[in-house]
Amino acid sequence: MRQGTTPTIQITVNNIDLADMEHIYVVFEQNGYLLKKGMTDLKIENNVISIFLTQEETLSFKSGNCNIQLRMITYDGIAMASPIKTVNVYSVLNKEVIT
């Protein structure tokens, strides 16, 4: 992921039916900064969750590693969490939103 861009992050979920989830959150964490994306921010098709990030959101990350984790809860109240994955954030020279 590069600062100041609008990437789509895709997470493929195996062995879990996403239709059984009441809430799904994708959490990005870097050096204590948290960005949480909920159901209204996600596109879910079959077993793929797509997360859309804005320029402002990617500019809030520093260059380096960023952790990503999926948290879900079923309609029956069973809470789940994925393993934490790490992605690299790459810098840009112009650290402002462009139009």
pLDDT confidence of residue 86: 97
Superfamily of segment(s) 8-89: Immunoglobulins (2.60.40.10)
**Across the chain, where does the E strand assignment appear?**
8-12, 21-30, 33-37, 42-45, 48-52, 64-74, 79-81, 85-89
Q: Is the pTM of this model over 0.85?
A: yes
**Residue ranges of the alpha helices (H) in 1-99?**
55-59
| pLDDT per position as a tens digit, 33-78 | 999 999 999 999 999 999 999 999 999 999 999 999 999 999 999 9
pLDDT confidence of residue 19: 93
Report the first-to-last Cα separation within the chain, whole angstroms. 19
Question: Percentage of the chain surpassing pLDDT 90?
Answer: 100
Whole-angstrom CA distances from 29 to 17, 33, 35, 36, 74 are 25, 6, 7, 9, 23
Range 81-92 average pLDDT:
97
Measure the CA–CA gap between 54 and 46, rounded to whole angstroms.
24
Q: Where are the domains of the chain?
A: 8-89
Tokens of 17: 């039916």
Length of the chain: 99
